[in-house]
A and B are shown apart, each in its own frame.
Chain A
Amino acid sequence: MRPVALDIQSLSKTYKAGHHALRNISLQIPRGEIFALLGPNGAGKTTLIGIACGLVNATSGSIHIEGHNVASEFRTARKLVGLVPQELTTEAFETVQAAVAHSRGLFGLQPNPSKLEQVLRSLALWDKRDTRVSQLSGGMKRRVLIAKALVHEPRVLFLDEPSAGVDVELRRDIWNVVRGLRDQGVTILLTTHYIEEAEQIADRVGVINKGELVLVEETHSLIRRMGQRQLVLNLVSPLQQLPAALAPWAPALSADGLSLRCNFAQDISGTETALLLQTLSSAAIAVRDLQTQQSSLEEIFVQLVRSKS
C-alpha cells in the first residue's frame, strides 16, 4: 500500500451565511495518484480544495498533506502543495518570468533559473517570459497560473478545473505535464466538468454532490460496473412485433421498426453477441448492420447525481 498523500477526515464546511458546502467528507488519496473530483456546479469542489490550501477555514474535520495537518502545521503542509485556482487571477503588471519567480520565493525556495526555464518551457511560455501577464490571452494566463503552481516543486497538486476555457493544444500540454508529475510521484487532485477527461487521465474518480461524497471508485471499475453496453441493430425490413426469444436483452424497437436496441450487462462474454445474432436469424430477422455503444462516465455521473438527489 502506497503512503497516503492527502488524508481528509470528516471534513465539513458551513459558510457564514449558513450554507453547508461540505458534509462530513472523508477521502484518502495515495501518493502518486491522479484523482478526479466530479460534481455539478456548487457541489463543493472548490471549497474542498480551498480548505486543503489554506484559503478556507474548515468548520470541522481535518486535512493532512503527507502527514502534516494543514491548519496546525501549515508551514510544512503548504510547502508541499501547489494550487491552480479555478478563476483566472493573475498580477497584471508583472512579466511572466517575474510572476513565476515570485511564486517560488513565496514558497521559501531560492531562485533557480534552470528550474524556472524548465517550467516555462514545459508550458510553452518561454517565448513569452518578458511579456506582461495582462497582455496575455486567457489560455496563456492559465498556463502562467500552472507554472506558478509548479515552480516550487509541490508534492501534491490541486488543479481546479484546469481545462475550463482551454483549447485542445493547451489541454494536451496540461495532461502531459500532469502525467509527467505523476511519474515523479506527485499526487494530483483535479476537478473537471469534462468527464471524458477524467476517464482518460484519472486513476480514481470521486463524485461530490451537494457537499456529500457520493462515490469514490477506480475509474475503470466504475465504468465496468455501472456502464451498460448496447447493441443497436439496423434491420433490412421493418419489424412488426418483437419475438419473445429476445426478451433477455430487453429490446426496444424504433417507431419505424427498422432499428432494434438490445442491452448487455457490461461483463458480457463474447458468446452473448453470437447468441443474440443466432436468435435473430432463427426468427428470420435480417440484419443490415450493427453497432455497439458504451455508456460513458458522463452518463454514469448524471445517473448517480439524479438518483441521490
Chain B
Amino acid sequence: MNIEAIKAIYRFEMARTFRTMVQSILAPVLTTSLYFIVFGAAIGSRMTGIGEVSYGAFIVPGLIMLSVLTESIGNASFGIHMPKWSGTIFELLSAPVSTTEIVLGYVGAATTKSVMIGLVILATSTLFVPLQVLHPGWMLLMLLVTAFAFSLFGFMLGIWATSWEKLTIVPSLVITPLAFLGGSFYSLDVLPPLWRTVTLFNPVVYLVSTFRWCFHGKADVNLIGSIAFIAAFVALCLAITTWMIRSGWRLRS
C-alpha cells in the first residue's frame, strides 16, 4: 500500500477545499437558512407537526442529506475531472498508485468536506429549531457512509464525463429530482398509495428515512433494508471505479 500517495492526494484535495473555504461553507449555510425561512417559518407555521416532531425539526435530516448528496457528487467529480481536463492527471497515471490509493485519496477528501458541510448545516439548523438527536453515533456513521457513497459516485462521474456539460447533467437531471422527491420535506404517509409505491424505487428515500431515524427515532422504511441498499450501492460503485482505473477507461488512451 502506497500510504504516502494517499496522504499526498488527500492533502492536495483538502488544500483545494481550504482555498475555497468561504464559498464552500458559506453557500450551504446560506441555502439551508433559506430553506428554513421558506419551509420552516413560512410554510411550516401552517403545517402541523409530523408525529410529535415539529415540521422544522422534521426537515433537518432531509436538508442535511440533500446538501451532503449534492456536495459529495459535485466535489468529488470536480476533483478528478479538473486534472483530466487540464492534463495534470498524467502525473497520477504515471505514479505507482492502485485503485485503493486513488479512491482513498480523492474520495476520502471529498467525504471529509461533505461531512464538514453536513455538520455545519446541523449547527446552523439549531439556530432555527430546537433539535434532538436520539442516536448521535448512528447519525455520524450514516453521514459518513452517505458522504462516502456519493463521493464515490461523483468520482465515477468525473471519470465518465468527457466535458464540463456532461459533468453537470447527471446531478441536475437525475440527482436533484431524486433528492427532492426523496422525502426530505414530507413524510411518505402523506402520499397516495400509488405514489408511495413509486417513491420506494427512489434510493434517496432510504437514505433520508434512515437518517431521520437517527434524529427522531422514526423511519418510513425498513432500517436493515436501507443499510443493505447503501452497502450494495457502495459495492457497485467500487466495482465500477476499480474497473475504470484498472482498464484506464477514459483515462489512458
The docked-state distance in angstroms from the alpha carbon of A173 to that of B159 is 38
In the complex formed, the residue of B with least CB distance to A15 is B253
Counting CB contacts under 8 A, is A85 at the interface?
A: yes
Tell me which residues from 76 to 108 in chain B have a Cβ below 8 Å from any Cβ of chain A.
83, 86-88, 90-98
Q: Do A53 and B94 form a contact, CB below 8 Å, given A15-B253, A91-B88, A108-B2?
A: yes
Contact B253 A54 (CB under 8 A): no
Contact A89 B4 (CB under 8 A): no
Q: Mark B22-56, 1 if CB is under 8 A from A, else 0.
A: 00000000000000000000000000000000000
Counting CB contacts under 8 A, is B216 at the interface?
A: no
Counting CB contacts under 8 A, is A98 at the interface?
A: yes
Contact B8 A76 (CB under 8 A): no
Contact B90 A85 (CB under 8 A): yes
A56, A91, A94, A107: the one within 8 Å of B96 (CB): A107
Contact A89 B94 (CB under 8 A): no
Counting CB contacts under 8 A, is A179 at the interface?
A: no
Contact A89 B252 (CB under 8 A): no
In the complex formed, the residue of B with least CB distance to A110 is B4
A73 to chain B, nearest CB (A): 10
Binds A, one of B9-17, B176-184, B194-202: B9-17
Tell me which residues from 235 to 253 in chain B have a Cβ below 8 Å from any Cβ of chain A.
248, 252-253
Tell me which residues from 83 to 119 in chain A have a Cβ below 8 Å from any Cβ of chain B.
83, 85, 87, 89-94, 98, 102-110
The docked-state distance in angstroms from the alpha carbon of A79 to that of B19 is 30
Q: Is the interface of B mostly helix, strand, loop or mixed?
A: helix
Contact A54 B252 (CB under 8 A): yes
Contacts of B15 in A (CB 8 A): 94, 98
Contacts of A109 in B (CB 8 A): 4
The docked-state distance in angstroms from the alpha carbon of A54 to that of B98 is 12
Contact B94 A81 (CB under 8 A): yes
Contact B93 A55 (CB under 8 A): yes
The docked-state distance in angstroms from the alpha carbon of A78 to that of B92 is 11
Counting CB contacts under 8 A, is A74 at the interface?
A: yes
Contact A89 B87 (CB under 8 A): yes
Contact A106 B88 (CB under 8 A): no
- Total interface residues on A, CB under 8 Å, equals 35
Contacts of A78 in B (CB 8 A): 94-96
Interface centre among B15, B86, B95 (most CB of A within 10 A): B95
Contact A103 B91 (CB under 8 A): yes
Contacts of B120 in A (CB 8 A): none
Contact B253 A56 (CB under 8 A): yes
Q: Do A76 and B94 form a contact, CB below 8 Å, given A105-B4, A105-B8, A106-B5?
A: no
Contact B252 A74 (CB under 8 A): no
A55 to chain B, nearest CB (A): 5
Counting CB contacts under 8 A, is A210 at the interface?
A: no
Q: Do A106 and B95 form a contact, CB below 8 Å, given A50-B253, A55-B252, A93-B19?
A: yes
Contacts of B87 in A (CB 8 A): 85, 87, 89
Contact B98 A75 (CB under 8 A): yes
B244 to chain A, nearest CB (A): 13
Contacts of B9 in A (CB 8 A): 106
Contacts of B94 in A (CB 8 A): 53-55, 78, 81, 83
A49 to chain B, nearest CB (A): 10
A77, A83, A93: the one within 8 Å of B16 (CB): A93
Contacts of B5 in A (CB 8 A): 105-108
Contact A83 B90 (CB under 8 A): yes
Counting CB contacts under 8 A, is A131 at the interface?
A: no
B18 to chain A, nearest CB (A): 11
A123 to chain B, nearest CB (A): 17
Counting CB contacts under 8 A, is A57 at the interface?
A: yes
Q: Do A57 and B248 form a contact, CB below 8 Å, given A78-B95, A89-B86?
A: yes
Counting CB contacts under 8 A, is A148 at the interface?
A: yes
The 6 A-B pairs with the shortest beta carbon distances in the complex, nearest first, are A105-B8, A89-B87, A106-B95, A78-B96, A53-B94, A108-B2
Apart from A53-B93, A83-B90, A107-B4, what are 6 other A-B pairs with CB-CB below 8 Å?
A53-B90, A81-B94, A104-B8, A106-B9, A106-B92, A108-B96
Which residues of B are in contact with A by a Cβ distance under 8 Å? 2-5, 7-9, 11-12, 15-16, 19, 83, 86-88, 90-98, 248, 252-253
List 19 A-B pairs, Cβ < 8 Å: A50-B253, A55-B252, A55-B253, A57-B248, A57-B252, A77-B96, A85-B87, A85-B90, A89-B87, A89-B88, A89-B90, A91-B83, A102-B12, A104-B8, A105-B5, A106-B4, A106-B8, A107-B96, A110-B4
